[in-house]
Amino acid sequence: MTHSVIIVDDEPPARAKLRRFLALLPEFRVVAEADSVDSAVTQITAHRPDVAYLDIQLGDHSGFEVIEAIRGLVSIHIVFTTAYSEYAVRAFDVQALDYLLKPFDRDRFLRSAERVKSELADPDQGDFEERVRRVLAALQGQQAPLKQILVRDRARAYFIPVDSIDRLSAAGNYVEIHAGGKVHLVREPLATLVAQLDAGEFIQVHRAHVVKLSFIAELQPMFHGDFELLLRNGERLPLSRRYKALLPAAIRERL
């Protein structure tokens, strides 16, 4: 299946860069480009593309004005492209699929494209926590990953070295941190905590589970493109098609 795309950016070099990257993916077809709010609304209304790569800063105007103008008229998936990280929280409100922080490279773009393809193939508009995690992960380069996590209980507060963590799981309002056979509770959303970890070390495999890559022993195929993870301690966790797209490219290519 081919997905139609519009590129909205007021800088010609930025549009050319996206065209080059999209040309690497036969599943995407650029049907229109725009350099302003008005031209974007016109082109989106005319072509009704599946995906918009939308710059937030369009001259003296904002990409959010495009979204307001087409609200209720056209259904479209949004990937924001911007040099300004302060717009991230507002991007959550419009359910953006991803947030490409400029300057992004080809690998970052291709990872985003995999997420877009997964969403188009199997939409889940209610998966808000994962959308938040994606946007926070895009901004992770603005600060160094956590090296240790503070855990508080009634008697004391203590630190867990991130290097010792095997996996994390959502548990209501808490996150269970599994480290060395022990479980520690932290009162914090899973998406917020995981966004502060090294994305090269930890991977989300399910809405409620994040695993250190080196703690995965096997990936066992199941039905309909899903997998089951066998961890080094013998535990098993599901890996759905949606989260398979978050695996490093070197692993995905071998599945």
Pick the CATH number of 3-141 from 3.40.50.2300, 3.40.50.720, 3.30.2230.10, 3.50.50.60: 3.40.50.2300
pTM score of the predicted model: 0.52
Burial class of residue 190, CB neighbours in 10 A (0-12, 13-18, 19+):
buried
- The predicted structure's pLDDT at residue 126: 43
- The predicted structure's pLDDT at residue 4: 95
pLDDT averaged over every residue in the chain: 83
- The predicted structure's pLDDT at residue 5: 97
**Residue 57, number of CB atoms within 10 A of its CB:** 17
Query: Where are the CATH 2.40.50.1020 domain residues in the chain?
Result: 148-252
Residue 97 and residue 79 in contact, taking contact as beta carbons nearer than 8 Å: yes
- The predicted structure's pLDDT at residue 136: 52
Amino acid making up residue 98: D
Residue 206 and residue 243 in contact, taking contact as beta carbons nearer than 8 Å: yes
Q: What would the pLDDT profile of 186-221 be if each residue is shown by its tens digit? A: 988 887 787 778 877 888 888 889 999 999 999 988
- The predicted structure's pLDDT at residue 239: 87
- The predicted structure's pLDDT at residue 128: 46
Distances (CA, A) of 65 to 34, 164, 245, 249: 14, 46, 31, 35
CATH number for the domain formed by residue range(s) 148-252: 2.40.50.1020
DSSP of 224-251: TT-EEEEETTS-EEEE-HHHHTTS-HHH
Rounded to the nearest 5°, which phi and psi values hold at 227?
-130, 165
Residues in the chain with pLDDT values less than 70: 84-95, 122-144, 242, 245-246, 249-250, 252-255
Burial class of residue 93, CB neighbours in 10 A (0-12, 13-18, 19+):
exposed
